[in-house]
Structure 1
Amino acid sequence: MRKTIQGLALLGVLSFTTVFVPAQAANFSQLNAQAITLEDNKRTLTFDVNTTSANLPLGSSHYHAFNIPSGQYQVRLRSNIYKSVFAPTAYVLDASGNILATYGQDKVTHQPSGVISPDRLQLKFDVDSTTGAAVVVVATSQNQLNQTTEIEHPARQLAKARGNQPPDIPNLFIPHSQSGEVQLKLSKIETEVDNSAPVLVTSTTAAREASENKQAIVGASSVQPSAADATTSSATTVAATASASAVSTSAQVKQTALLPASEAMYNQAIKDAVNQQDHELALQLMLEASEHGSKTARATYLEALEQR
C-alpha cells in the first residue's frame, strides 16, 4: 500500500474524492444492541451513504456489527478491488461494549487476482465467545482512507491471461473509500478444512471456496450450476447450452472443450454482468465457463473490467 496515486488516470479515477461523513461519537453498548445475528455465517456488508456511521477509535466510518456465535471462529473479511476499495478494520467487543481487540491496517493483506477472483483486500482473525467476545464491528479507519493499494495493471493481467508478453506499463494505485462491499465469512475453527485433501465440488460456490483454500479440485468439469448462477436469463441460457461432459480416468478428470457457440454466450454473459456491475455473477460465470473448458473466459472478464 502506498500514498501516491500515480497511474490512476489509466482507470479514470483521478476525480475520486473521499467524502467524510458526519457521525456521532460511538456508544459501544448501542453498537452491541444493533448487532445482527448471522443465519448462515456469511453476509455481504454494504457500506454507503445509507449505512449508519459513528466516530470510532480509529476514525469516523460507516459500520456494521454482528453477533459472534458460541464457540471459536475464524472471521474473514474480503473486499474486492475495482476503481476503489473499502479497507476493513474490525473491533471485537464484549457484552458490555468494551473493546477487546482491534484489527487494523497492519493486519490487512492484499490478495492478487486469481483465475476466479479479482484483486482484493483481506482481513482474517480469530474470535472466541468463551473469552468474552460477543460482537464484531466492521468499519474502516482514517489511516486507511489516506492510503492506496498497489495492483498490477489490468492490461498486464489481460496479456498474461491470453499468454502474451505483458506490456511495460506501471502498476496502479487504487484509492481507499468509505463506500464499498465486504464479504464476511465465519468458519468454526474446530471444523476448518484440511487444505491438503482434494475436494469433489458439486457447485460453483464449492469450487470457489476450494480455490480460496488452495485445495485441489476433483471432478471440476462435472460441476453443475448453483442456484445463484440461474439468477439471470443469460446465466440460465449459458448453463443450458454448455457442453461439458467429463471423461474420468483413475488419476484425473479430462475436460472437453466448449463449443464455439457456448463459449461466445458465456463471454457475452460475463460482459453483461460486468456492465451491470454484478461482479459476483460475472465471477460465477467465469468460473463455470472455465470448468467447462473455456480458454477465454478469464481474459474476457479482465478485459470487461478494464473497459469500465
Structure 2
Amino acid sequence: MNKKILLISGLLLLNGCSMIVDDQYQVAPIGKAVTQIQTAKKLPLEMDQEIKLAVSAQTQALDIYSIDSPSVVFDLPMVKNGFDINIEAEINDSVFVPSAKVMNQSGDIRAELDDEGLVYLKPRLADGNRLQGNIKVHPQIGDSALYLVVFTDKDKLNETVAVSHPAKLDAEGRGNYLTGVGDIQVPRALTGKLSIEATALGARTDAPSTVLPVLSNTERPQQESVNFYHQAIRTAIADNDVDKAMGLLRDAEQLGIADADQVFREAMKAQLDRQ
C-alpha cells in the first residue's frame, strides 16, 4: 500500500436522526447489508458544510460494485459546474482507510478514489494524524441523481498505514531532526472517524487574496497563466498551506488550465518525501 494517503471515510445518521459521539461526530446509518444502491440509507451532502461521522461495527454495509464493507451513501446535489469533495480520516489506534465511488442513478461511475489518491497529513494545531483524499465530480447529460459511496477495502485489512513517531514530530517542532526513530505502523480497520465537505468547483477559499492573471471564459489559457497557477500550487504546498493550494487548483480547473491536478498531486508527494 502507498504509505502516503489521503483520507476519506464518511458515515452518518440512522433513520434521519443523528447520534452525537465525542461532541462532534455523528454515528453513521446502521443497518444490514444491502445489494442495491436504491435501497441503501442515504445522507444529504450539502455544499460548504463539513460532516463529521463515526463508522461503527453496526454501520450499514454495501455488497455492490465490488464494495463489501461498512459504507456511507450520500445523496449529492446536482451542481452544474461540478464539485470538489474533500475527505479526511482520523488515524488513532487504527484507521478506516477510505475509498470512494461517485455513481449516477444507473450505477455508472463518474469518479473514484482509492489508496493511490490518499495523502498522509501530520498533526497540525487541533488535528491529529490524518489521511486526506480529494474527488472531483462533473455531472453529465442524463444524470438525474448522483451518489457518493464511502467504504474501505476489506482485502487490505492486514496492511498498515505509516505515521510519524511522536518523538520525531516533537524534535521537528523544536527545529531538530531525530535519527534512528522509525515510523509507527497503524493497522487498518472497518471502523473509524471521518470528515467530509463538498465545495462547488471554482469557489474561492477565504485565504488571503492573490493577484491572479486575468483570463476570460472564452480564451484559451495563456502559457503565462498556466505557469503562474502551476508554480502557485507548488509554492502553497511547499509552505504546508494545503487549503490555499486546493483553492488555486479549483480556480485553475475552472479556467481550463491543463494538468493542474497532476501538479497538485506531484507537489504533495514531493513535499511528503522531503519530510
Q: TM-score, normalised by structure 1?
A: 0.52
Q: Which of 130, 143, 149 lines up with 2:161 in the alignment?
A: 149
**Number of aligned pairs?**
184
How far residue 78 of structure 1 moved from its aligned partner, in angstroms, is 0.4
Mind listing any 5+ residue stretches in structure 2 that lack a counterpart? 4-30, 211-239, 246-275
Report if aligned partners of 1:107, 1:123 keep a CA contact under 8 Å in 2: yes
Cα distance 1:63–1:90, how it changes in 2: closer, same or farther (>3 A)? same
Deviation per CA, 1:30-63, whole angstroms, max 9, x where unpaired?
23xx222135532112111121112243442111
The correspondence for 1:184, drawn from 196, 208, 215, is 196
Following superposition of structure 1 onto structure 2, how do residues 183-222 of structure 1 map, counting pairs within 5 Å? 183-193=195-205, 197=209, 212-214=242-244
User: Counterpart of 2:65?
Assistant: 57
Q: Deviations over 1:221-240 (max 9, x none)?
A: xxxxxxxxxxxxxxxxxxxx
Bigger relative CO (Cα 8 Å, ≥ 6 apart): 2
Q: 1:102 to 1:69 in 2, by over 3 A?
A: same
**Change in 2 beyond 3 A, CA 1:145/1:111:** same
CA contact (8 A) 1:68 1:135 kept: yes
RMSD: 2.9
Counterparts of 1:184 and 1:141, CA distance in 2: 19
Paired position in structure 2 for 1:15: none
Identity %: 23
Q: Which residue of 1 aligns with 2:119?
A: 109
Distance 2:150 2:122 in 1: 22
In structure 2, the CA distance between the partners of 1:70 and 1:169, relative to structure 1 (3 Å rule), is same
| Greater helix share, structure number | 1
Q: 1:268-307 counterparts in 2 under 5 A?
A: none
- DSSP 3-state at the match of 1:106: helix
Q: In structure 1, what is the Cα distance between the partners aligned to 2:64 and 2:121?
A: 27
Partner of 2:137: 127
Alpha-carbon distance change, 100 to 118 in structure 1, aligned in 2, over 3 angstroms: same
* Matches of 1:43 and 1:125, distance apart in 2: 16
The one-letter amino acid paired with 2:121 is Q
Task: Give distance in 1, aligned partners of 2:65 and 2:105.
Answer: 18
Is the 2:67–2:151 contact (alpha carbons within 8 Å) kept by the matching residues of 1? no
Query: Contact 1:83–1:174 at 8 Å: present in 2 too?
Result: yes
